[in-house]
Amino acid sequence: MFKLTFLLTLIFSSILFANDQKELKDLVRATATKYYNAENIYDRFSGASTLIDFGEEEPLKFVVEQLFSGDFIIMRHAIDTLLSVSHPSAPDIINRAIERIEDDVFLKFVTESLSKRSRPDMYHTLLDLVESEDPWVVKHSMQSIDMVEFSEKQELLTSFISSPDTDEIIKAYSYMGLAKLTPNNKEIQEKLIEFGKNGTKDTREAAAVGLGRIDSEAARQALRELRNSNQPNVQIAALGSEVGLGMAEPREKLLELILNGKGLDPTVAAASIRRMPREVAVSITTELIDCCELNSEVGARLLESWSELGKPPLTIVDWGYNHKNSDIRMQAIWLIGTLRIDEYIEPITKELESDDSGIATMAAWSLLRILSKIE
């Protein structure tokens, strides 16, 4: 009798849970539909991203049409929308657009977006883009490949450095990637040091990142020299690598740069935590959010970096979610959905009614991703 009662209770609970999920999905769909039917095209993009993952064809058609709009801003939003959805046809749509759109800026947008938010299902596309004649496209494609894990990665990078026809930028990023896979390889260390001394701005930046994956005195010495470079991207890459290795003085300099740097330097420096050891990233993020009022760009980059590091301490998520700045709040909601952090289902559900269309549509997108995890 006890077993039967327990079984009935379990079944009833499961039915209630399923009903709750259906009701929540209905709310998510209604919110997304509301904004997809809005007059503002950016609200339409935001609503479409969720409806596409519900399997609706019309929003997908709308986004695809915008890829070919000829308007660079609209094109970029269409690319980012397709890269944000889990619809199985998204990679194929991007590939077909690459074949058809002749404007070089399209490839720049695609590879730059992929270098910020990895898509493992698009690494074959990245391999094709590495053959581009545009150094910008090649650089960001190699950065994206570095972020994606796949079984033949070491073999691929080794083939790049072994070929006499490989461009120097591809070789530099290949050595950078191999440093993560085999950090004790002396030949890789020597090649990265050489690129650091004699390379271009881009290959020296790759060397600065790669050397941060090698814990040796020679690597640290090379990083000190790169940090004193007159090239800002190289300086910041070297600084981030030194911090990742646990060095105290560079850590203070990185914090200072994030808080008081000029131009884009603070956001680039903030984004560098995504390649640091988790404990270092936790320490830096926590110190920054505890000590100071961060601007929206820096706060958003810090949260975005955690999508690569994995689920952060909930105090970091709470900071972003409860922030008064809407851009930081929206980035926190995006992070919650990206990492499918189900502890936030209830508070995010309330955001579906937000007067801020960005918050409401991001809440819808995040909730659908979380619900797909727990079904």
Count of other CB atoms within 10 angstroms of residue 296: 16
DSSP 312: P
pLDDT digits (tens, 9 = 90+) for 290-314: 999 999 999 999 999 999 999 999 9
Task: State how far the Cα of 17 lies from the Cα of 11, in Å rounded to an integer.
Answer: 10
Kindly state the tokens that stand for 32.
Answer: 């997304």
Q: Which of 197, 177, 190, 195 is nearest to 216 (CA)?
A: 190
- Which residue matches tokens 């809005």? 38
Res 19: pLDDT: 63
pTM of the model: 0.89
pLDDT digits (tens, 9 = 90+) for 315-342: 999 999 999 999 999 999 999 999 999 9
C-alpha of 277 from chain center:
16
Q: Which of 173, 207, 201 is nearest to 189 (CA)?
A: 207
Res 18: pLDDT: 55
Which segments in the chain show pLDDT lower than 50? 1-2, 4-16
